[in-house]
Amino acid sequence: MDVKELFSDKVKHLEGSAIREMFKLMAKPEIISFAGGSPDSALFPNRELAEISDRILKEQGPLALQYGVTEGYTPLREWVVDRLSSQGIDCSFDNTIIVSGGQQGIDLAAKSLLNAGDGVICEEPSFIGGLNCFRSYNAEIYGVPVESDGIDTDRLEEILKAHDNIKILYTIATFQNPSGITMSYEKRKRVLELAEKYNIIVFEDNPYGELRFSGEPVPTLKSMDKSGRVVYFGSFSKILSPGMRIGFTTAEPELIGKMVICKQVQDVHTPVLTQMIAHEFVTNYSIDEHISKISKVYGKKCEQMMSLMDEIFPDCVEHTRPEGGLFLFCTMPDGIDSKKLLNAAIERNVAFVPGATTMVDADKVYSSFRMNYSMASEEQIDKGVRILAEVLKDALAAL
């Protein structure tokens, strides 16, 4: 039997993430990988989490190991509401739920809102997990370029004017994955005006927002939202641990209600044990100190990578200058295919994410690539960027 013939319309066009495929290559110990998107595992608060887990299992085992409430472990949900409120977001217990990572929040909201053929606008470049989620609902995806201060709002309006099927704009407005770019305050205002004018919903995906290491904070779109148009996705993955699979979503209560029903179908609830551990960590250990510590490390690594690139990369190769998050984005002159460059780099034991995997039409040729600086050590950044400079020079010479 050829099971491929039985695949549903929702999944038959989906390709496995090139990033996932690369994880296999990255497992080779000799590879210096700038391709992943994980936080630095050396920064996980292992000792504290071990203490907490031990205590919870000894003292509250029956609660931690039992089925839980789909909407989330109440104390953690309350903590998230307080935290978001302190960041200027108008939210309440009833419109905020815990999900199994920000990714699940995006999927549940998309599932609740999208019919096949509905339009979703995505930034270009964007996060593959978001793109694949919208693809899996057979949405029509429209790409809008990201400029140095965020999405191109003129192009956004052109697309909104030209198509009447658009329901959602998906944006990673702060320390964007993959570009590291943050949308300016002026553009955030404009995005919300356009959302109002064209009656669309904005998905604000913000897993990196707390990881600022330079520059001034910019308010979230959700905190500027006056009409309940913004669905906000947050996560503990980058500030605490991705393996614990905890995220949160805040949106209009009616949408949250549908998402809860869909979550019951997907995984019933996010594991109570990890929610309890996270709650104990954020209340009794200093989460702000932890975030400040890890952000400093990421800032240092980012600076090291950028200065070395400035020094030794060919002048025609440009890169973004992130003020937080885990990624920067490089753009080479047209004509260099970053997928081919990746093959050449892998031969020399260096990996990155080629731009194509971050674009709406992944089959075109792109001269851009994403570099992650959170996982590599200082020595690896130094060695890997130097090798990459050589690979780039060879590619330019062959043009």
Ligand X SMILES: Cc1ncc(COP(=O)(O)O)c(C=O)c1O
Residue ranges in contact with ligand X by CB under 6 A: 37, 101-103, 127, 129, 172, 177, 205, 207, 235, 237, 242, 247
Say if CB 179 and CB 327 are below 8 A apart.
yes
User: Which residue's Cβ has the minimum distance to ligand X?
Assistant: 101
User: At CA 36, angle to CA 33 and CA 37, rounded to 5?
Assistant: 145
- What is the distance between the alpha carbons of residues 122 and 125, in angstroms, rounded to a whole number? 8
Nearer to ligand X, 101 or 150 (CB): 101
Residue 174 or residue 223: which is nearer to ligand X going by CB? 174
> Between residues 223 and 358, which has the closer beta carbon with respect to ligand X?
358
Annotate 152-180 with DSSP letters as a single string.
-HHHHHHHHHH-S-EEEEEE--SS-TTT-
Beta carbon nearer to ligand X, 73 or 127: 127
Q: How far is the CB of 182 from ligand X (least distance, A)?
A: 13
Q: Which residue has the tokens 């885990």?
A: 326
Q: Of the two residues 127 and 142, which places its CB atom closer to ligand X in the complex?
A: 127
Count CA atoms within 13 Å of residue 32 on its CB side: 19
Q: How far out from the chain centre does Cα 292 lie?
A: 19
Closest distance between ligand X and the C-beta of residue 390, in Å? Answer: 29
Under DSSP, is residue 372 helix (H, G, I), strand (E, B) or coil? strand
Q: What single letter denotes the amino acid at residue 40?
A: D
When the beta carbons of 211 and 391 are compared against ligand X, the nearer one is 211
Nearer to ligand X, 247 or 355 (CB): 247
Give the residue from 378, 375, 331, 390 showing the smallest Cα distance to 355.
331
| 41: its two tokens | 């595992």
Q: Residue 211 in contact with residue 298, Cβ under 8 Å? A: yes
- In the complex, minimum distance from the CB of residue 238 to ligand X, in angstroms, rounded to a whole number: 7
Distances (CA, A) of 125 to 6, 102, 222, 327: 32, 19, 22, 12
CB of 181 to ligand X, least distance (A): 12
DSSP assignment of 218-265 equals: ---HHHH-SSS-EEEEEESTTTT-GGG--EEEE--HHHHHHHHHHHHH
Distance in angstroms between the alpha carbons of the first and the last residue of the chain: 47
User: Quick one: 310 exposed, middle or buried, by C-beta within 10 A (0-12, 13-18, 19+)?
Assistant: exposed
Cβ 6 to ligand X shortest distance, Å: 29
Measured distance CA(325)–CA(339) in Å, rounded: 24
Q: Considering the complex, state which of residue 101 and residue 384 has its C-beta at the smaller distance from ligand X.
A: 101
Based on CB atoms, which residue is closest to ligand X, 97 or 172?
172
Question: Which residues touch 396 (CB under 8 Å, ≥6 apart)?
Answer: 314, 316, 332, 333, 336
- Least distance in angstroms from the C-beta of 207 to ligand X: 5
Q: Which is nearer to ligand X, 223 or 237 (CB)?
A: 237
Q: Which residues of 28-50 are buried (b: 16+ CB within 10 A; e: fewer)?
A: eeebbbbbbbebbeeebbeebbe
Cβ nearer to ligand X, comparing 64 with 98: 98
How far is residue 126 from each of residues 321, 370, 372, measured CA to CA in Å? 17, 11, 15
